[in-house]
Amino acid sequence: MKVQVLRKYAELIVKVGANVQKGQDVIVYAELDQPRFVEFVVSEAYKAGAKSVTVRWSHNPVDKIRYKKESLKSLSEVPNWIIEREKHYVKTLPATIYLVSDDPDAYKGVNQAKLAKVGQAVYPILKPFRDERENKYQWTIAGLPGPAWAKKVFPNLPKKKAMEKLWGAILATSRADHGDPVANWRAHNADLINRCAFLNSLHIKSLHYKSKNGTDIKIGMLPNVNWLGGGDKTLGSDIFFNPNIPTEECFTTPERGKAEGIVYSTAPLSYQGELIENFHIVFKDGKAVEVHAEKNEALLKQMVSMDEFAGYLGEVALVPFDSPIRNSGILFWNTLYDENASCHFALGMGFTNTVQDYGKYSKEELTKMGINDSMIHVDFMIGSNDLSIVATTQDDKKVQIFKNGNWAF
């Protein structure tokens, strides 16, 4: 891949994704797969005026060994230096860049019940600090090819060619393979913002999803939430940033407890380094009361029971079937990409920033309004080429939002 193209992609991540500000601290999370590209990102962050840039490296095989060999007690401990680090992040609000290249099967063979218990032990300790930072800082997630991931996506190609092809797919779907990627994203954000404006003008009370695969579910919406898409603004400092590169979705948070029916997945779900495939979920009174999967059903059941509200919906997202990622014909085995090829839901935590004037309310008040709160937020894909979504407005009018898998407006 040409260095000039990669540098432009790094610039896109820093300027449009995280929108790093002059004098701001920056944290970059990355696997060991693309150290040269991480250099480009660090360089671009300093060009943008970053005060300091810290790279926090990880490596799936090392983590796998740790999860297998270390005791549950040791893995569940949160030492004081981590607490102090979280306090520091609350004070400084560093821009955060996640560069993902993980192997979709990274933790195959790891005791998933053990991983779940670690998460349940650590989450309540770190949650207060993360709640304090919520909506106040810029963050972004972008993809980089890793060899294991590339071979999963292109199993019939040699490793080098698979890596090159995955690079090409990542850049194309991120609008970074032609012209000026920053300008491309300005136009893309404008389109998503216009679609959200139309959705907000409808004042939607509920959405009814139907597909020939058996999906038939009605989801209730809160009267005071907005649809969001593309970028977002930080609370207080009003800095515009793009959390996901790529993104094709308009999304919002439904009302907790208002989901009735059944939904079938249309793509595999990568969760905790393992794949859950061909599954469906039955909702009653808003909660997942029944789940079935052809592969890793036990892991799916574990996921929806991670805490009291893990089985409730936190997000509904609209993505046309005729999207760049879907049209690429590639199954990425990675939620960042696959969720942007398809309408999707998320189980678990909802987005408080979808509430109108959310800055006026505490986290507790927003939760009481009906925004779900959970230790998980897991997207799963439900879009198909025959998906129909009909909105019922607050004044009981019916409006077709999606028809045959695509926008109806």
**pLDDT at residue number 96:** 98
User: 76-128 pLDDT, tens per residue?
Assistant: 999 999 999 999 999 999 999 999 999 999 999 999 999 999 999 999 999 99
Of all residues in the chain, the percent with pLDDT exceeding 70 is: 100
User: What is the overall mean pLDDT for the chain?
Assistant: 97
pLDDT (average), residues 65-85: 97
Query: Three-state SS string across the chain, please?
Result: CCHHHHHHHHHHHHHHHHCCCCCCEEEEEEECCCHHHHHHHHHHHHHCCCCEEEEEEECHHHHHHHHHHCCHHHHCCCCHHHHHHHHHHHHHCCEEEEEECCCCCCCCCCCHHHHHHHHHHHHHHHHHHHHHHCCCCCEEEEECCCHHHHHHHCCCCCHHHHHHHHHHHHHHHCCCCCCCHHHHHHHHHHHHHHHHHHHHHHCEEEEEEECCCCCEEEEEECCCECCEECCEECCCCCCEECCEECCCCEEECEEEEEEEEEEECCCCEEECCEEEEEEEEEEECCEEEEEEEEECHHHHHHHCCCCCCCCEEEEEEECCCCCHHHHCCCCCCCHHHHHHHCCEEEEECCCHHHECCHHHCCHHHHHHHCCCCCCCEEEEECCCCCCEEEEEECCCCEEEEEECCEECC
User: 150-174 pLDDT, tens per residue?
Assistant: 999 999 999 999 999 999 999 999 9
pLDDT (average), residues 341-356: 96
**pLDDT at residue number 382:** 97
Q: Which residues pair with 141 in a beta bridge?
A: 98, 244
pLDDT (average), residues 221-241: 95
Contact assessment for residue 234 and residue 300, using Cβ atoms and an 8 Å cutoff: no
The CA-CA-CA angle for residues 127, 131, 133, to 5°, reads 120
Residue partners of 364: CB distance under 8 A and separation at least 6: none
> Domains in the chain and their CATH numbers?
3-173 (3.40.1830.10), 181-407 (no CATH)
Contact assessment for residue 311 and residue 372, using Cβ atoms and an 8 Å cutoff: no
Prior bond to 246 cis, omega within 30?
yes
pLDDT (average), residues 345-351: 98
Residue 360 has pLDDT above 90, yes or no: yes
pLDDT (average), residues 271-291: 96
Residue 3 has pLDDT above 90, yes or no: yes
User: 121-151 pLDDT, tens per residue?
Assistant: 999 999 999 999 999 999 999 999 999 999 9
Query: Three-state SS string across 28-91, please?
Result: EEEECCCHHHHHHHHHHHHHCCCCEEEEEEECHHHHHHHHHHCCHHHHCCCCHHHHHHHHHHHH
**pLDDT at residue number 1:** 80
pLDDT (average), residues 11-22: 98
Residue 52 has pLDDT above 90, yes or no: yes
